[in-house]
């Protein structure tokens, strides 16, 4: 999606719809704005249902102060305008109060950004602002204090968060990533103490993927075009179900000629289209595209396992609660979970980055998936459908385990019952 060709009103609608659909705001909550090249501030209206906004509802505030539109602008317009005055490099402001961030705001602290690698890199520096009444000059002053110091993300005590960025889509990516981090930490604390990434490893995980030689495909095979068409719906389903978010999650599939199609680095997963996938073949990648930084692991899996034709690396928050704590994930909860997940191993974070071949070697017939500490779950399959099914089941199983915590101790399927499942379904080790 090329957002630079979208009218500001349409950009605000698209982002507000995503926020509302993902239950990160309510009918009356939150406000977004964009400053255009002429200095106009386009902003969501006051007291209008966020779930049914149309482009006619968006309000334009001219540099002269003239208001153009059928509604009043958001009551938070003063702090949006204040941010733009302080920071000429920012062209979008997002304010909302999603449940995870509100949970932190009402205990007046901030979520950790060092539990998974991508979060801190995407979000950047954050600050916590003193409480002030919504719409007040004091609130604007409190927020502006930090934006003036170069912060782009300001948490608000007993309120929510304010984010500024170059575009409303970039602001949304920060916002969604922070809410993910908040919810992950909350879920993980149900299991025990969270384990942050050591600083030396954190810096290593922030490195960009290796640069590959480029090539320009002369033709597109039927197999490649079909794979592009078929992989994208699974990426969108994963996003819609919260198994991945806009800023991370990589999918790949193997082509009959040995090539690999993989998600691009840095692209919003919600808007990926078939043409965005990156073709990698013979150590080179499609001209003008950058493959996911996790490409070495995907390649290592395909090289090691002839029967695997699809790989997904994702960070679903329920399962990631086990990745950022010392708790063991045991799939012997219901037969369906064990059938698909078998014996998932947890590997150290550095294995994924320093030894992808060694990590790939840990996958076997009874181990179709891996958990990398503080990073992700890797699932494999003979087809994208089977890999996606494993991802869904893994997070659903983790969710059930988390929900069971207040009910009592889990009774796992006994070893002899596991052996019976293997016999009935012809499972081999």
- Give pLDDT tens digits for 200-239: 888 777 777 778 999 999 899 999 999 999 999 999 999 9
End-to-end CA distance of the chain: 45
Q: How far is residue 301's CA from residue 323's CA, in Å, rounded to a whole number?
A: 21
Tokens 């980055």 locate to: 353
Q: How far is residue 294's CA from residue 311's CA, in Å, rounded to a whole number?
A: 11
**Which of 76, 176, 187, 373 is labelled catalytic?**
76
Q: Is 373 a catalytic residue?
A: no
By CB neighbour count within 10 A (0-12 exposed, 13-18 middle, 19+ buried), where does 76 fall? buried
Q: Quote the tokens at residue 85.
A: 């005055």
Counting every residue, how long is the chain? 429
Q: How far is residue 178's CA from residue 338's CA, in Å, rounded to a whole number?
A: 32
- Give pLDDT tens digits for 280-333: 999 999 999 999 999 999 999 999 999 999 999 999 999 999 999 999 999 999
Task: Work out the average pLDDT over 14-36.
Answer: 93
Phi, psi of 62 (to 5 degrees): -75, 160
Phi, psi of 308 (to 5 degrees): -95, 125
Give me the pLDDT at residue 401, please.
Answer: 96
- On whether the CB atoms of residues 352 and 342 are closer than 8 A, the answer is no
Give me the pLDDT at residue 1, please.
Answer: 67
CATH superfamily of the 3-191 domain: Class II aldolase/adducin N-terminal domain (3.40.225.10)
- Secondary-structure class of domain 205-424 per CATH: alpha beta
Task: Work out the average pLDDT over 380-398.
Answer: 97
Give me the pLDDT at residue 108, please.
Answer: 95
The set of residues, in sequence order, having a beta carbon less than 8 Å from that of 350 and lying 6+ positions away, is 201, 204
Answer whether 3-191 and 205-424 agree in fold.
yes
**4 pLDDT tier (thresholds 50, 70, 90):** confident
Q: Quote the tokens at residue 280.
A: 């990698």
- On whether the CB atoms of residues 214 and 286 are closer than 8 A, the answer is yes
Give me the pLDDT at residue 137, please.
Answer: 84
* Helices 222-240 and 384-404, axial angle in degrees (round to 10): 10
Task: Work out the average pLDDT over 25-47.
Answer: 94
- Write down the domain spans for the chain: 3-191, 205-424
- Give pLDDT tens digits for 405-423: 999 999 999 999 999 999 9
């Amino acid at each position: 999606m090329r957002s630079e060709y979208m009218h500001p009103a349409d950009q605000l609608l698209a982002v507000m719809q995503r926020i509302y659909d993902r239950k990160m705001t309510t009918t009356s909550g939150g406000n977004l704005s964009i400053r255009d090249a002429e200095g106009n501030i386009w902003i969501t209206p006051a007291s209008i249902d966020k779930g049914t906004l149309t482009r006619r509802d968006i309000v334009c505030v001219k540099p002269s102060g003239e208001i153009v539109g059928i509604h009043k602008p958001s009551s938070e317009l003063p702090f949006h305008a204040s941010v733009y005055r302080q920071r000429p490099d920012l062209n979008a402001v997002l304010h909302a109060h999603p449940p995870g961030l509100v949970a932190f705001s009402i205990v007046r602290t901030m979520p950790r950004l060092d539990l998974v690698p991508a979060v801190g890199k995407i979000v950047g520096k954050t600050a916590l602002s003193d409480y002030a009444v919504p719409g007040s000059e004091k609130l604007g002053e409190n927020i502006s204090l930090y934006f003036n110091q170069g912060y782009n993300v300001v948490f608000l005590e007993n309120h929510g968060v304010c984010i500024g960025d170059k575009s409303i889509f970039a602001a949304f990516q920060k916002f969604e990533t922070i809410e993910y981090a908040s919810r992950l930490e909350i879920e993980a604390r149900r299991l025990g103490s969270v384990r942050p990434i050591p600083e030396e490893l954190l810096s290593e995980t922030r490195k960009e993927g290796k640069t590959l030689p480029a090539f320009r495909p002369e033709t597109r095979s039927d197999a490649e075009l079909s794979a592009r068409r078929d992989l994208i719906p699974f990426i969108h389903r994963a996003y819609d179900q919260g198994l991945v978010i806009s800023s991370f999650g990589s999918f790949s599939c193997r082509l009959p000629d040995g090539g690999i199609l993989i998600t691009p680095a840095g692209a919003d997963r919600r808007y990926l289209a078939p043409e965005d996938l990156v073709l990698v073949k013979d150590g080179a990648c499609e001209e003008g595209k950058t493959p996911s930084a996790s490409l070495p692991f995907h390649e290592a899996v395909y090289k090691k396992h002839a029967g695997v034709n699809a790989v997904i690396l994702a960070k679903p928050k329920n399962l990631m609660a086990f990745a950022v704590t010392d708790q063991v994930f045991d799939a012997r909860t219901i037969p369906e979970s064990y059938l698909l997940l078998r014996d998932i191993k947890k590997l150290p974070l550095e294995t994924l980055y320093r030894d992808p071949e060694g990590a790939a070697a840990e996958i076997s017939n009874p181990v179709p998936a891996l958990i990398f500490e503080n990073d992700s779950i890797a699932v494999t399959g003979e087809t994208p459908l089977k890999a996606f099914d494993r991802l869904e089941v893994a997070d659903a199983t983790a969710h059930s385990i988390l929900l069971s915590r207040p009910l009592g101790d889990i009774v796992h399927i006994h070893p002899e019952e596991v052996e019976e499942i293997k016999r009935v379904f012809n499972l081999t080790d």
